[in-house]
């Protein structure tokens, strides 16, 4: 660092001066600014109220450390509250024991570091996991589960199974399911049908009880407080001292006497950040799962990197397994993740704008790129991931396991992301094209609020040529030639006649597209998990580029790297670990 500049800033700000990293609106090299005033303070400051943040805050507060939790959005929960509530915590939980499932921290650890588990695309689920991080998860997994139960989360009363998660280990069933109970659901704005409240699994049933526990414990929850910077004594050395937050335009500084916990939920919503892992993931992938309830804008990662934090486990983000990139399941709307449908009663429906048309049978549509050309078998599926019994027979760490893997790359998503060969990155919009007969078969109502016509995610017309001409929206960077769409549909219809898809091998194409009106519905792939993030150690302390701990800085959940697993278990458990160690720090007076 420039010593003269440092002296100036310290001198100008007096003895209590510290450095702040300038606002993070853009991921650019940060500018240092002196901070002279703290508006709030607590022992521990947690950033983000999702699956990692709420447990971290509750644990810290209950351990006797006053805790402030800041949340960017108007409500708590993050992606976790929109989730399916399937929580693969294992290692010997009370429920596993009750149902005679023999699990242990060692078994869990070996499962999640098994080099021999490989997906049909050839990608290993666990090979690049950080052993130290997985060991900590395995050792704390069962305790975290019991802690959730003790803090009001009610799990569906059944044996753990294999439903809902991925990359959770092959040896034994570990999935538990948070019952929604009578908590209003963020997706609909109202409680679920009483008949299914104890059996229907939902992130609402995980996060609302944790919110209540946090409030009971005395955690100070500040909504609409978006962290914009992390303050460190000096930009590249010394302890972390607090954070800057933006509260509806007012910037305030919150001091953390002991520690700051980053639980901001990952980075796939940040176009430039995600493209470091995969250059194909350009702007048109605007329908991140979990949005618009909350974003994953990489703000935690970028703030930490500005004070020298390192990223970690980067392979896991680009690898072809799990849900990092998913096939759309709702079409005709921006937010088309298959397991999340926004209904008009939701508090965020004005931002979601449409429920989307759920696709149960891809025979009802063809999928075309910006040029109106098909690119793959529409019925093909997305990437897979390891779960209980995915490999059968399975022998941990055995060379024999690969013999049971049928190498057969699932390439739908790769074809969708391939682009149109014009030198641009990104696959561009993918449109589902269908006709009035498909609408009748699928029982769709292709009108608002089911589809988003005003936003440019849905079009209809009396002819195919007219339809192609109508497709104008911000991500359609070249016009769709009407003759292309007409030719594509005519050729596809001929495949229905012959029963053979000569271009892409779709199993027996069933339905012609011939009955007006014709429709084009947004069906572009949806981004989801972040599986790479900040480097942490077993205590969830953030590490810098020299492999040194950044004093007073912790991280858990999707913003932390080194752990390839879908969601809630690793996030809750790392929040649980981070909260404990953050509270155990010595307060800086």
Ligand X SMILES: Cc1cc2nc3c(=O)[nH]c(=O)nc-3n(C[C@H](O)[C@H](O)[C@H](O)COP(=O)(O)OP(=O)(O)OC[C@H]3O[C@@H](n4cnc5c(N)ncnc54)[C@H](O)[C@@H]3O)c2cc1C
Interface residues with ligand X (CB under 6 A) are 47-53, 70-73, 77-80, 82-86, 164-165, 226-227, 263-266, 289-290, 294, 297, 299, 337, 339-340, 557-559, 566-569, 571
Structure tokens at 312: 């970690």
Give the nearer residue to ligand X in terms of CB position, either 67 or 82. 82
Q: Which is nearer to ligand X, 376 or 576 (CB)?
A: 576
| Alpha-carbon torsion (526, 156, 565, 72), positive or negative | positive
Shortest Å distance, C-beta 527 to ligand X: 10
Closer CB to ligand X, residue 460 or residue 559?
559
Residue 529, Cα to own-chain centre: how many angstroms?
3
- Shortest Cβ distance from residue 475 to ligand X (Å)? 21
Buried b (16+ CB within 10 A) or exposed e, 190-215: eebeeeebbebbbbbbbbbbbbebbe
Which residue minimizes CB distance to ligand X? 50
3-state helix, strand, coil in the chain (%, to 5): 25, 20, 55
**Min. distance of Cβ 255 from ligand X in angstroms?**
16
Q: Which helix (H) or strand (E) holds 79?
A: helix 78-82
CB of 374: closest distance to ligand X in angstroms? 28
Q: Closest approach of Cβ 482 to ligand X, in Å?
A: 36
> CB neighbours of 362 closer than 8 A, spacing ≥ 6?
378, 379
Cβ of residue 586: shortest distance to ligand X, in angstroms? 26
State the minimum distance, in angstroms, from the CB of residue 50 to ligand X.
Answer: 2
CB nearer ligand X, residue 294 or residue 564: 294
Cis peptide preceding 292, ω within 30 of 0: yes
- Write b or e for each residue in 538-562: b if 16 or more Cβ atoms lie within 10 A of its Cβ, otherwise e: bebbbbbeeeeebbbbbbbbbbbbb
Name the DSSP letter for residue 379: T
Query: Which residue number, 244 or 467, has a Cβ lying nearer to ligand X?
Result: 244
Task: Determine the 3-state secondary structure of 436 from DSSP.
Answer: helix
For ligand X, give the closer residue by CB, 91 or 567.
567
Q: Which is nearer to ligand X, 289 or 371 (CB)?
A: 289
Number of CB atoms found within 10 A of residue 84's CB: 20
C-alpha 542 chain-centroid distance: 20
State residue 229 phi and psi, 5-degree precision.
Answer: -160, 155
| DSSP string covering 209-254 | HHHHHHHHHT-EEETT-EEEEEEEEETTEEEEEEEEEEETTEEEEE
Of 162 and 433, which CB lies nearer to ligand X in the complex structure?
A: 162
Give the nearest distance from C-beta 514 to ligand X in angstroms.
Answer: 36
């Amino acid at each position: 660092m420039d010593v003269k500049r440092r002296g100036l800033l310290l001198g100008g700000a007096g003895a209590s001066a510290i450095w702040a990293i300038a606002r993070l609106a853009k991921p650019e090299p940060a500018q240092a600014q002196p901070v002279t005033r703290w508006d709030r303070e607590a022992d521990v400051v947690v950033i983000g109220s999702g699956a990692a943040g709420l447990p971290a805050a509750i644990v810290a507060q209950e351990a006797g450390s006053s805790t402030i939790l800041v949340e960017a959005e108007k409500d708590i929960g993050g992606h976790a509250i929109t989730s399916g509530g399937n929580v693969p915590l294992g290692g010997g939980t009370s429920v596993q024991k009750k149902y005679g499932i023999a699990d242990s921290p060692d078994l869990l650890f070996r499962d999640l570091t098994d080099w021999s588990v490989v997906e049909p695309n050839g990608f290993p689920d666990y090979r690049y996991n950080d052993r130290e991080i997985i060991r900590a998860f395995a050792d704390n997994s069962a305790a975290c589960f019991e802690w959730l139960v003790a803090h009001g989360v009610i799990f569906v009363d059944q044996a753990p199974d294999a439903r809902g998660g991925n990359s959770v280990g092959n040896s034994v069933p570990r999935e538990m399911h948070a019952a929604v109970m009578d908590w209003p659901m963020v997706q609909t704005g109202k409680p679920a049908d009483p008949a299914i409240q104890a059996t229907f699994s939902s992130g609402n049933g995980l996060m609302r009880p944790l919110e209540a526990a946090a409030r009971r414990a005395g955690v100070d929850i500040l909504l609409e407080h978006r962290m914009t910077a992390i303050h460190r004594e000096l930009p590249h050395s010394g302890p972390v001292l607090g954070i800057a937050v933006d509260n509806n335009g007012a910037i305030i500084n919150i001091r953390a006497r002991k520690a700051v916990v980053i639980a901001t939920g990952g980075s796939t919503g940040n176009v430039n950040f995600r493209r470091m892992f995969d250059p194909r993931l350009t702007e048109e992938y605007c329908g991140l799962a979990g949005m618009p309830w909350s974003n994953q804008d990489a703000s935690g990662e970028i703030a930490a990197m500005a004070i020298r934090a390192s990223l970690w486990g980067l392979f896991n983000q680009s690898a072809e397994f799990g849900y990092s990139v998913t096939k759309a399941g709702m079409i005709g709307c921006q937010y088309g993740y298959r397991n999340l449908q926004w209904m008009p009663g939701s508090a965020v429906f004005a931002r979601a704008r449409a429920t989307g048309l759920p696709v149960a049978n891809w025979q009802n549509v063809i999928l075309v790129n910006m040029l109106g050309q098909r690119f793959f078998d529409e019925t093909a599926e997305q990437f897979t991931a390891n779960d209980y019994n995915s490999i059968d027979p399975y022998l941990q760490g055995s060379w024999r396991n690969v013999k049971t893997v049928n190498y057969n790359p699932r390439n739908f998503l790769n074809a969708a992301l391939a682009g149109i060969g014009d030198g641009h990155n990104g696959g561009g919009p993918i449109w589902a094209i269908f006709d009035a007969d498909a609408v009748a078969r699928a029982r769709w109502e292709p009108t608002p609020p089911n589809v988003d016509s005003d936003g440019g995610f849905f079009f209809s017309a009396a002819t195919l040529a007219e339809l192609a001409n109508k497709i104008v929206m911000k991500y359609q960077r070249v016009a769709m030639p009407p003759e292309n769409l007409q030719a594509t549909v005519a050729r596809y219809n001929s495949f229905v006649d012959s029963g053979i898809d000569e271009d892409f091998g779709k199993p027996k194409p069933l339905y012609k597209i011939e009955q007006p009106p014709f429709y084009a519905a947004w069906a572009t792939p949806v981004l989801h998990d972040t599986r790479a993030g900040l480097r942490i150690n077993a205590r969830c302390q953030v590490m810098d580029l020299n492999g040194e701990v950044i004093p007073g800085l912790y991280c858990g959940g999707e913003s932390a790297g080194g752990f390839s697993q879908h969601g809630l278990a690793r996030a809750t458990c790392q929040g649980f670990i981070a909260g404990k160690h953050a509270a155990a720090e010595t307060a800086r007076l």
